[in-house]
Amino acid sequence: MAAGSNSSGRNSRPKLSLAQRRKARRLIMQALYQWLIAKTEPLVIEAEFRQENPGKIDWDYFSEVFLEIPKQVDHLNAHLNPLLDRAVNALDPVERALLYLGTYELAYRIDVPFKVVINEAVELAKVFGATDGHKYVNGVLDKLAAILRPLERKKK
């Protein structure tokens, strides 16, 4: 076997911890909040967040997800609107950011199990959202997972 090769056949990229991905999601939610409130250009926000948040964070994930969500917002709204009890623009900005994050992951990151997507969004809503915001986020993403990930949900 060649030096540095991985016997499992996976690429040799260092494995990032779940904590690094969790930190990336937290920063994505905060960056989306800033984008929604201040309407700042996403690339500017990304640069600020990278400078202000040293440490071990899954920056590849942060960049991919955060920079794609503003580009996909109409598509994400199309998924969300039938499931909401109000206009998406009327949502609390924290819950809106988390629903965008969860919807993006459910639609485009099928490598992330739907239970993880929902759990991570709910946990962030408990910390940053309104009193019962986590229940709303949970309900919407659970319904969306049934639509976007029906086969995966059946396996549970």
- Within a domain: 7: no
Torsion region of 3: left, alpha or beta (phi above 0 gives left; psi -120 to 50 gives alpha): beta
Q: What CATH number should be reported for the domain holding residue 68?
A: 1.10.940.10
pLDDT of residue 156: 58
pLDDT of residue 5: 37
Give the pair of three-digit tokens for residue 2: 């060649």
- Within a domain: 122: yes
Amino acid at 104: Y
Pick from 26, 143, 33, 38: which is nearest to 82 by CA? 143
Pick from 125, 135, 117: which is nearest to 96 by CA? 125
Helix 18-38 × helix 114-128 angle, to 10°: 60
- Within a domain: 150: yes
Per-residue pLDDT tens digits for 10-66: 344 456 688 999 999 999 999 999 999 999 999 999 999 999 998 899 999 999 999
Per-residue pLDDT tens digits for 87-136: 999 999 999 999 999 999 999 999 999 999 999 999 999 999 999 999 99
- Within a domain: 12: no
pLDDT of residue 6: 37
Residue 1 in this model has a pLDDT that exceeds 50? no
The CA distance from 111 to 42, in Å, is 24
Residue 7 in this model has a pLDDT that exceeds 90? no
The CA distance from 95 to 89, in Å, is 11
- Within a domain: 139: yes
Q: How many domains does the chain have?
A: 1
Output 120 or 156, whichever has higher pLDDT: 120
The CA distance from 142 to 114, in Å, is 9
Per-residue pLDDT tens digits for 71-91: 999 999 999 999 999 999 999
Residue 4 in this model has a pLDDT that exceeds 60? no
- Within a domain: 151: yes
Task: Name the one residue in this structure whose structure tokens are 């109409």.
Answer: 74
pLDDT of residue 141: 98
